[in-house]
Structure 1
Amino acid sequence: MEHSAIAGVTQAAEHAATHINLATTWVGWLSLAVFIIAYYFIATEERYEVNKAKPALFAGTFMFMLIGIYFTINGMSPDGLHDELENLILEIAEIFFFLLVAMTYIETLIERGVFDLMKYKLVSKGYSYKKLFWLTGLLAFFISPVADNLTTALILSTVLFTIDKKNINFLVPGAINIVVAANAGGAWSPFGDITTLMAWTAGKGEFVDFLYLFPAAFLGWGVTAFLLSMSVPSGEPAFDAATEKKPVVRDGGMGVVYLGVGTIVIAVLGHQFFHFPAMWGMMFGLALLKLYSVTLEKGGKESFNIYVNMEKVENDTLLFFFGILSAVGALHFLGFLEYIHELYGMIGSTAANVGVGFLSAIVDNVPVMSAILKSSPEMGIDQWMLVTMTAGVGGSLISFGSAAGVGVMGRLRGIYTFGSHMKHAWTILVGYILSIAIWYVQFEIMGLY
């Protein structure tokens, strides 16, 4: 999704390295305080009943306004700030439109009844909650390397919700499982997550090098899933073959499925081979979806209104991304993220790269990875693969530490929350540690890479 925003982020990192470090000035400390306060309200969304998009949007916009005031007061040239904001706007726009298209496709699939049919097929087979838990997790792990972790998580969390809308004991661990599986699955593919693509395009590893992360990613997720499955209730979703009729997919439903898959393929391959932003391919897919609706209407079939479906998109999720990426961009511009580089000289590459995973869960993996790539510490392919994995998988430790987590929070609003996620966070930590251990044995001891 954020794939082609990499150039903008990298340029922003270069500016951060050349302009004066403002972290220790009054604007630096004040901006950091604004970020921390906003982060507190994001994390306590349930307690104060304040949607996470509101504090994120306030912090992201206000922090850059403070920086602009500081530049004016001190008579500083605004060129660096303008360049930073232009790059940030480009990054956010690409993410925003990518998400908009992905969510529009999902809402259209819901409206056409595709997910109802999928739910019927799963439930009618008599699968237990535990089997459905494992099935959705496996699908998330193996779909995300081809598509991306966010789109995968959005689709499968929708399937999860249609299976049983009320059983919290099934929905919460199931949602966490999907997020962890989508992030882990994206970690061993060069275009499954933003962090892997950044490292790949920066020449830190060849295509096949990332595939060697499969054992660590798969087994790490597997252990987390096993521990989560212990809290999944026994029994099966309610299903009465005598009363529940097989849902009928409305006209064009399967066509939307094929268009959705084709759109993802166009976005990924188009970015890889023809060098246009992934968002551009997604918008082309949106155009195809609109034309498809016209074709249905002209053919005398029941069509759909794409704009009505777009109205159902979780705008709070989109605005949350705008706010949090703006806030992190401000911290990056002020120079706070440059302190990450000092970790490598102080504690060594392995310890620093493991710490990146925890930091990416709290902040965001895009500027963190950008800062590491810019500083380019002396590391071998083994360490670059480690930081790629930890930056991607580490986002699962907190519900909004990854795009997949934020997307599922919007999809299962009030069910999958920061609080419900943190109750099971220890299972994710166990899997994270195991992934690192497997990496160490495979890469450092056995040299299998």
Structure 2
Amino acid sequence: MERLDLTFTWIGIATLAIFVVGYYFIANEEKYHIDKSVPALFIGIFTFLLISVYYYINDLDIKMVHDEAEAVILEIAEIVFFLFVAMTYIESLIHMGVFDRLKHNLITKGYTYRKLFWVTGFLAFFISPIVDNLTTALILSTVLITIDKSNKEFLVPSAINIVVAANAGGAWSPFGDITTLMAWTAGKGNFIDFIFLFPSSILGYLITAFLLSRFVPNEKPNVNKDEKEPKMKEGAWMIIALGIITIICAVLSHQVLDFPAMWGMMFGLVLLKIYSFRLTKIFGEGHFNVFASMAKIENNTLLFFFGILAAVGALYFVGWLTLASVVYEPQYLGSTYANIGVGFLSAIVDNVPVMSAILKANPDMDLSNWMLVCLTAGIGGSLISFGSAAGVGVMGKLKGIYTFSSHMKYAWTILIGYFVSIGIWYVQFEILGFN
């Protein structure tokens, strides 16, 4: 049975209104001290229940709502379980001292502020495709405040550099950003297709980084080189290796076996649990326990994704996303200009619901434009400090230093890099036809 268009009925208007009010509280999490997962879960779950009531009282086929809810749950499960395993590995590496060792190695090299700016930026760009942009930004922003807690001339440009690098690095990997992960699991591109975004991502980032670096002092920070060198725990290198194997399993699972990528990730979790059992036998209970790593996962982040993806599913079901997708029609903006606009929208709204809405609306686009929207949704969030998870995370780490206003002072450098990335995409995909 064809899905009903309910956009301008009371249920359609109520669904949109609840989403807007809920998203207001999500965007103002720090102002109201309400964890973002709470309004996200409310709008996601309540709107579907409200739609069910509408179908029930109007004697409509409620099985349509049931089928849509099941489809949404399946989509959410693929994302949430993927992230769950990735977060477990990250927490395991933190416990084993991997990132403490990295941080120590960086701050004891005797680098100048400017060299540290470049090193942390490149690390963010190349770690985020494997780890994810939020975790990468949190780790490296911790390194920044370890180097210097008060020098804003160093901290502000370097914080922006890490956010831009983490988002740009995440854009060319299927699991470097939630948006690319969503597009990959939705079948909008193969694993290798995302790799072709590398030139756009890195060249746009390098332009922004070069411009930002001009504002960073070229002198050495005062660092305590006598600080005791942290040691990685026994088994750390094996967990790193298992993490790489897990990523390979996720790729093979999705690309070769046509399974959800999370299936390969869950197999990687099994391997980690087996190795955890071995480490416990050798070194005792306190050395490493995979369930202790699971306990440290930011569950509010997972619940936020559950809620926001369910809310976008409700907007799609009542017809709002189909209505909004007309901008992709050739007589309006068309795919390319609409996708460029997505970057600016994702900076204001957050790229996750924006990408979810686009995937739900499923406009008729070729591969090059699906790659463009992954690029713009990913790196567009850098334009404003709270436009991406990485930016929000760094704002929390550098409170009072990296702020909305301090970010906007240098936003022009990010805008230039954004258009350079789009220009590289255009040459690569549209002129040369190389993808």
TM-score higher than 0.5 here?
A: yes
Is the Cα–Cα contact under 8 Å of residues 144 and 185 in structure 1 kept in the other structure?
yes
**CA distance in 1 between partners of 2:383 and 2:311 (Å):** 20
What corresponds to 1:160 in structure 2? 141
Alignment partner of 2:256: what SS?
A: helix
Given the alignment, which residue of 290, 296, 300 partners 2:279?
296
The one-letter code of the counterpart of 2:421 is S
1:386 and 2:386 are equivalent in the alignment = no
2:164 corresponds to which of 177, 180, 184: 180
Q: TM-score, normalised by structure 2?
A: 0.83
Separation of aligned partners in 1, 2:155 and 2:165: 15
- 1:333 corresponds in structure 2 to 317
How far has the Cα of 1:186 moved from its partner? 4.0
**126 and 201 in structure 1: CA distance in 2 versus 1, 3 angstrom threshold:** same
Tell whether the 8 Å contact from 1:213 to 1:385 is kept in structure 2 after alignment. yes
3-state SS in 1 of match to 2:332: helix
Q: Does 1:29 align with 2:13?
A: yes
Distance in 2 of aligned mates of 1:419 and 1:84: 42
Q: Is the 8 A contact 1:116 1:162 kept in 2?
A: no
* SS of residue paired to 2:259: coil
Q: Find the residue that maps to 1:346 and give its secondary structure.
A: coil
Matched residue type, 1:353: N
In the alignment, which residue of structure 2 is the partner of 1:70?
54
Measured in 2, the distance between the counterparts of 1:202 and 1:94 equals: 10
Instruction: From the superposition, tell whether residues 289 and 231 of structure 1 become closer, same or farther in structure 2 (CA, over 3 Å).
Output: farther
Question: Of 135, 139, 156, which aligns to 2:123?
Answer: 139
**In the alignment, residue 370 of structure 1 is paired with which amino acid?**
L
**Other-structure match for 1:356:** 342
1:284 aligned partner: 267
Amino acid corresponding to residue 431 of structure 1 in structure 2: G
* 1:128 partner amino acid: T
> What amino acid does structure 1 have at the position aligned with 2:252?
L
Give 1:253's aligned residue.
236
State the alpha-carbon separation in 2 of the partners of residues 352 and 314 from structure 1: 33
Q: Contact 2:250–2:262 at 8 Å: present in 1 too?
A: yes
What is the TM-score normalised by the length of structure 1? 0.81
Measure the CA separation in 1 of the matches of 2:297 and 2:151.
Answer: 23
Residue ranges of structure 1 left out of the alignment (5+ in a row): 1-14
* Cα-to-partner distance string for 1:394-440 (whole Å, 9 max, x where unaligned): 3444566556557x469849687778766655543332223223334
Matched residue, 1:114: 98
After TM superposition, the structure 1 stretch with the greater mean CA deviation from structure 2, 90-99 or 202-211, is 202-211
Asked if 1:102 is matched to 2:90, the reply is no
Q: Which moved more, 1:76-85 or 1:124-133?
A: 124-133
* Contact map agreement 2:183 2:359 (CA 8 A) in 1: no
Per-residue CA deviations over 1:301-346 (Å, capped at 9, x if unaligned) read: 6621222232222222122112211211211222111123311232
2:419 aligned with 1:437: no
Structure 1 residue corresponding to 2:305, chosen from 307, 321, 344? 321
Q: Which amino acid aligns with 1:258?
A: A
2:50 and 2:186 map into 1 onto residues whose CA distance is 33
Q: Which residue of 2 aligns with 1:49?
A: 33
Find out whether 1:263 has 2:246 as its counterpart. Answer: yes
In the TM superposition, 1:206-225 aligns within 5 A as 212-225=196-209
Give the Cα–Cα distance (whole angstroms) in 2 for the partners of residues 315 and 205 of structure 1: 29
Q: Percent identity?
A: 56
Could you tell me which residue of structure 2 aligns to residue 9 of structure 1?
none
Q: Gaps spanning 5+ residues in structure 2: where?
A: none
In structure 2, how many angstroms separate the alpha carbons of the residues matched to 1:107 and 1:141?
20
Rounded to whole Å, the distance in 2 between the matches of 1:158 and 1:288 is 25
Q: Which stretch of the first structure deviates more once superposed, 417-426 or 319-328?
A: 417-426
Shift of 1:247: 0.9
Letter matched to residue 364 of structure 2: S
Write the letter of the residue equivalent to 1:376: D
Separation in 1, partners of 2:375, 2:308: 22
Contact preservation (8 Å) 1:115, 1:159: no
1:108-128 Cα deviation digits (max 9, x unpaired) = 222222211111111110123
* C-alpha distance in structure 2 between counterparts of 1:38 and 1:116, whole Å: 38
Cα deviations across residues 80-108 of structure 1 (Å, max 9, x unaligned)? 21111111112222222222222222222
- Report the counterpart of residue 370 of structure 1 in structure 2: 359
5 Å-filtered alignment, 1:416-435, equals 425-435=411-421
What do residues 46-80 of structure 1 show as CA deviations (whole Å, max 9, x unaligned)?
Answer: 22222222222222222222212211221111122
Instruction: Tell me if the contact between 1:124 and 1:239 (Cα under 8 Å) persists in the aligned partners.
Output: yes
1:60 aligns with 2:48: no
Distance in 1 (CA, whole Å) between partners of 2:181 and 2:26 is: 28
Letter in 2 for 1:183: N
How far apart are residue 201 of structure 1 and its match?
8.4
- Residue 21 (structure 1) shift: 1.5
Q: Determine the C-alpha separation between the residues in 1 that align with 2:97 and 2:369.
A: 46
